[in-house]
């Protein structure tokens, strides 16, 4: 029995509807993906590290003598003027108390010195009397010589005796002076700690230390009065805006940095990005243990802020910053996010978005920064690539932009 055309058409439509329902029921849904366009822009390759600000020239003020540092006349944050502001006062150490044996010995030394002085004074008086007698004899002989009664030989002998006695008097006086000094030294051994005698003020009791430079007081070891030894640190002074940055960098990354390289300073507390430049790279690395317990070789890199870039920003000594040291910079560089790249057959590849389909595209990668990678070949500017592709994304898989699903 022949089929009617109407029946055939109805059957075909029914089969098509069933096929469509089956396709919709069993086909895989498009995989949601994140898309980013490859674009040309400025690209910087940087070495990133945490750093701290540091005042370049810090003046450490120390005690010049052993004694008692009086309560600090300045406070932290106070401005000081070189050679004008008194920043510390040190009172020299006093003598210690005498025990019984030492006191008896010192008193005996005083009596001995007094006896020696008395003997010296007696020698002086004796020398004076002998000199007076010799002078009288010399004068008498000189008169007799003038009259022609005495000879010149007698006069010369008298003159010589007079010179000898004068020298003896000078020697006696010197011995007396030495005895006086010995007596003072012996009496000084009996001096004990305490205020000046007879209520007299000791104007020279203390050493005043002036500020060695203009600046601000950064730190005071101890504000209160305390005993100190010679050379003990008292306080530190520096200029607030005379700052530099010290960054602790892995030695494997430090070899990529050159002196004079520019750097960006971020996370310092302000909205703007400050600029700095590498001044010095330490020639020796130090071994440090990371938070994960891994030994690392670290190098200190010192950077200077650009002229005037730090003035008025409120930064001080020891403030935390984040630096990005630029080791390479290029203009109009075709780049994609590093998160779009993956290894494929020993090289690099990415998934490009073409009319809803993911296409695996081998690419040649150049320099890489922290987030972006330079593309030398494989994709053109404006091409949309998939970032962070999941395991469901394969070559030829249907995908959909996640942004369009919201």
Residue 210 belongs to a domain with what CATH number?
Answer: 2.40.50
Cβ proximity of 366 and 374 under 8 Å: yes
- Residue 27: pLDDT above 70? no
Q: Does residue 358 lie within any of the structural domains? A: yes
Which of 185-199, 260-274, 387-401 shows the lowest mean pLDDT across its residues? 185-199
pLDDT for 247 equals 95
Dist. CA 383–CA 389, nearest whole Å: 16
pLDDT in tens, 72-121: 999 998 999 999 999 999 988 776 677 788 888 888 888 898 998 899 89
Q: How many domains does the chain have?
A: 3
141, part of any domain: yes
The whole-angstrom separation of Cα 220 and Cα 235 is: 4
Reading the block at residue 125, the tokens are 């008086």
pLDDT category at 202 given cuts 50, 70, 90 is low
Q: Are residues 114 and 132 in the same domain?
A: yes
Last residue of one domain, picked from the residues 126, 161, 191: 191
Give pLDDT tens digits for 309-337: 788 888 888 899 999 999 999 999 999 99
C-alpha to C-alpha distance for 100 and 65, rounded to whole angstroms: 29
| 336: number of Cβ within 10 Å | 25
Would you say residue 173 has pLDDT above 60?
Answer: yes
Q: Find all residues with CB under 8 Å of 324, minimum gap 6, and list them.
A: 44, 46, 47, 48, 263, 264, 266
Query: 335 and 288 in contact (C-beta within 8 Å)?
Result: no
Residues 303, 332 share a domain:
yes
Q: What is the mean pLDDT of the chain?
A: 87
pLDDT of residue 51: 94
Q: Please give the pLDDT value at position 253.
A: 92
Same domain, 105 and 158: yes
Residue 400: inside a domain, yes or no? yes
* Domain shared by 274 and 371, yes or no: yes
pLDDT attached to residue 18: 64
Residues 122 and 215 in one domain: no
Report yes or no on 19 lying in a domain: no
Tokens of 388: 């962070």
Range of the domain at 135: 100-191
Q: Which of 158, 191, 224 is the last residue of a domain?
A: 191
Instruction: Please tell me the predicted confidence (pLDDT) of residue 28.
Output: 63
Query: Residue 180 in contact with residue 203, Cβ under 8 Å?
Result: no
**Residues 344 and 253 grouped into a single domain:** yes
pTM of the shown model = 0.63
Give the C-alpha distances (Å, rounded to integers) separating 85 from 82, 213, 215, 218. 7, 10, 11, 15
- Whether 185 and 226 map to the same domain: the answer is no
Q: Is 373 helix (H, G, I), strand (E, B) or coil?
A: strand
Identify the H or E element spanning 268.
none
pLDDT at residue 25 tops 60? no
Asked whether residue 252 is domain-assigned, the answer is: yes
Cα distance between residue 246 and residue 305, in whole Å: 11
Residue 17 lies in a domain: no
Q: Answer yes or no: is 364 within a domain.
A: yes
Res. 4 pLDDT band, cuts 50 70 90: low
Domain at 329, CATH number: 2.40.30.170
What is the per-residue pLDDT for 199? Answer: 46
pLDDT at position 41 is: 93
372 shares a domain with 323: yes
Task: Give me the pLDDT at residue 49, please.
Answer: 93
Within this chain, do residues 177 and 286 fall inside the same structural domain, yes or no?
A: no
Residue 166 belongs to some domain of the structure = yes
Residue 388 has pLDDT above 50, yes or no: yes
- pLDDT value of residue 105: 86
Radius of gyration of the CA atoms of the chain, in A: 48
* 365 close to 43: Cβ distance less than 8 angstroms: no
The phi and psi torsions of 155 (rounded to 5 degrees) equal -65, -40
Locate 71 and state its tokens. 């309560």
Are 227 and 67 spatial neighbours (Cβ–Cβ below 8 Å)? Answer: yes
**Same domain, residue pair 288 and 390:** yes
Q: Are residues 230 and 342 in the same domain?
A: no
Looking at residue 146, what is its pLDDT? 80
Residue 250 sits in the same domain as residue 231: no
C-alpha to C-alpha distances, 110 to 91, 104, 181, 186, 191, nearest whole angstrom: 28, 10, 11, 5, 12
**Which residues make Cβ contacts (< 8 Å) with residue 132, sequence separation at least 6?**
none
């Amino acid at each position: 029995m022949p089929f009617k055309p109407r029946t055939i058409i109805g059957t075909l439509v029914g089969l098509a509807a069933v096929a469509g329902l089956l396709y919709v029921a069993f086909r895989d849904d498009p995989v949601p993906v994140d898309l980013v366009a490859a674009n040309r822009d400025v690209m910087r390759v940087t070495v990133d590290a945490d750093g701290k600000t540091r005042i370049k020239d810090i003046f450490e003020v120390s005690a010049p003598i052993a004694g008692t540092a009086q309560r600090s006349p300045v406070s932290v944050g106070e401005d000081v003027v070189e050679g004008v502001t008194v920043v510390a006062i040190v009172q020299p150490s006093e003598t210690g108390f005498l025990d019984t044996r030492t006191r008896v010995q010192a008193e005996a030394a005083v009596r001995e010195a007094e006896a020696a002085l008395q003997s010296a004074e007696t020698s002086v008086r004796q020398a004076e009397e002998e000199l007076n007698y010799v002078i009288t004899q010399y004068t008498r002989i000189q008169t007799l010589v003038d009259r022609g009664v005495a000879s010149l030989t007698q006069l010369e002998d008298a003159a010589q005796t007079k010179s000898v006695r004068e020298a003896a008097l000078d020697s006696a006086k010197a011995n007396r002076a030495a005895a006086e000094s010995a007596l003072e030294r012996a009496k000084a051994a009996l001096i004990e700690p305490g205020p000046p005698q007879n209520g007299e003020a000791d104007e020279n009791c203390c050493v005043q230390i002036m500020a060695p430079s203009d600046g601000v007081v950064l730190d005071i070891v101890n504000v209160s009065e305390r005993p100190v030894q010679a050379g003990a640190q008292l306080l530190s002074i520096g200029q607030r805006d005379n700052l530099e940055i010290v960054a602790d960098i892995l030695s494997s990354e430090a070899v990529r940095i050159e002196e004079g390289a520019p750097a960006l300073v971020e996370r310092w507390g302000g909205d703007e990005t400050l600029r700095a430049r590498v001044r010095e790279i330490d020639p020796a690395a130090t071994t440090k243990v990371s938070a994960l317990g891994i030994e690392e070789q670290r190098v200190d890199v010192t950077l200077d802020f650009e002229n005037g870039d730090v003035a008025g920003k409120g930064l001080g000594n020891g403030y935390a910053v984040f630096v990005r040291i630029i080791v390479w910079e290029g203009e109009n560089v075709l780049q994609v996010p590093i998160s779009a790249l993956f290894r494929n057959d020993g090289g690099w590849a990415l998934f490009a978005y073409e009319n809803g389909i993911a296409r695996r595209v081998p690419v040649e990668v150049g320099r890489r920064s922290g987030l972006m990678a330079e593309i030398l070949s494989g994709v053109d500017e404006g091409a949309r690539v998939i970032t962070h592709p999941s395991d469901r994304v394969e070559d030829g898989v249907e995908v959909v932009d996640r942004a369009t699903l919201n």
